A = this chain, B = another copy of it.
Amino acid sequence: MLVDYSKIIDYFSQTQIPENMLKRGQLVLNEFLKPIKILFEQKNVPKEPWSDDQIEFLLQTLSNMDTDKDSQASRVGEREARIASRLHLKTSAGFCHGVGRSGFLTAPQPKAPGGSIMYELTNYLARNFLKNFGLPNISKVIVIPLCTGMSLALSLGALKPEFRSKKTKILVPQVDHKSLLKAIALMGFTPKIIEGKVFGDAVRIPIEDIKENLDSECFAIISLTSFFPPREHDDIKEISKFAKDKKLLHIIINAYGVQSPEWMKLIRSAIDAGRVDVIIQSTDKNFLTPVGGAVIASPREEVITKISQAYAGRASATPVVNFLISMLSLGINGYQKLIEQQQFNRNLLEEKLRETAKTINERVLEIFNPVAVAVSLDNLKKEQLTALGGALYNLRVTGPRVYSSGESIFGTCCKYYPTPYIVMNAAIGAKQEDVSFAVERFEKAYKQVVL
């Protein structure tokens, strides 16, 4: 009934355009459209990156299946994806109906067949992606239009014990990041925090300490991969065994851990070794989307179904579309290259910081971290540490953290951390110049401060 895009040139065979030229046109068009077919057939992340034009063509096709685009419809519902401006089509990529239905995120939305296909496809790609990058043993994945913290809240709400349970506590190896604690508080639970301890330069939470803290009111445990020095990742495998043993819900916060094969490996073995219910990762930090989404994976399908059903209402399609855009514009090979660049940058960062540390008589701290590096700042006084932060800000270095041991302990994840330090990241998506200029500017700022 419609134009057959494989034979588009047939319509022009009677024109003065010669056949071989038409065939070339068809060939080039096929090159453009072929990836869409492969995507529809395989529902996997493409090997090679798509162009923005290809992505827009796909989004345009799917969003034009939604009923708000139907020029023949009479709309007498109270929600019909009516919009005030065409700009809304840009911000929603055409998916004005959002995702979800009656409080079931992945439920197909009758008014949005195209949006429903888009979401389903995106979830397939998310699973395929994680399977490719370190988690072959997961079963189901959902892209959630909420960030990491709220995704934890949603997961807790969905998987909490039945009504009026006495169990309201959650074991939390110390984390200073506010979002996670807020998520727990929002849901009405109490975190039972196990304090970090200093081992050499590193801060770790010994599994024994965690085990000791278990009491009968605990129903869940949280563990973490990606972290800032001096805190190292948790002993996730042991926590996983412990969770299985004690029938605890086990949620892994893998905020920006997908970029690191080492962190991913921890999760993979944890799944194999014990109990992991939910693994939550940020879309912006791992997949280079704008802020606002998370990917929730589980080795058990029913867990994801429960989470999807716990969401109260419909949601913006944009965070989902953003993840889809990233998957298509990166492709497996594109992400692999980004990982390699990250690893190169991480090494460069350490190397350059070691050089700088030598010249200022400081040292790189010995802490395992595939993304970040910390350098001691023993020679600086409290005021100088404060001044250093300001100087870096003025030099337009974004993201470094300066810790002054005399001040707030916040960020070290322990009671007392003796060494003042600065942390910098070589995270995925950073450019080599980010790293090299940042270290140069750090050295410059340091010297300003010391003078």
Contacts and interface: CB of A to CB of B under 8 A. Distances in A.
A128 interface: no
Contacts of A28: 64-67, 69-70, 113-114
A439 B309 CA distance: 35
A24 B115 CA distance: 12
Given A2-B33, A5-B3, A147-B98, A292 B312 contact: no
Nearest to A291: B98
A384 interface: no
Contacts of A395: 74
Contacts of A177: 102
A77 B150 contact: no
Contacts of A20: 393
A318 to B, nearest CB: 4
Nearest to A401: B77
A145 B397 contact: no
A65 B424 contact: no
A85 to B, nearest CB: 4
B190 A187 contact: no
B17 A108 contact: yes
Contact of A87 (B56, B149, B179): B56
A186 B74 contact: no
Interface stretch (A132-140, A207-215, A354-362, A428-436): A428-436
Nearest to A427: B78
A256 B78 contact: yes
Contacts of A311: 149-150, 182, 186
Given A77-B399, A290-B81, A24 B110 contact: yes
Contacts of A6: 1-2, 4
A25 interface: yes
5 contacts: A84-B429, A92-B318, A157-B186, A160-B188, A186-B310
A92 B290 contact: yes
A316 B290 contact: yes
A325 B80 contact: no
A95 interface: yes
Contact of A397 (B73, B93, B393): B73
Interface stretch (A8-16, A198-206, A234-242, A267-275): A8-16
Interface in A8-54: 8-9, 11-12, 15-18, 20-22, 24-34, 36-37, 40-41, 52-53
A15 B118 CA distance: 12
A321 interface: yes
Contacts of A372: 78
Interface string A388-411: 000001011111100000000000
B399 A75 contact: yes
Given A83-B290, A87-B329, A316-B316, 5 more contacts: A28-B69, A79-B285, A80-B399, A98-B291, A182-B311
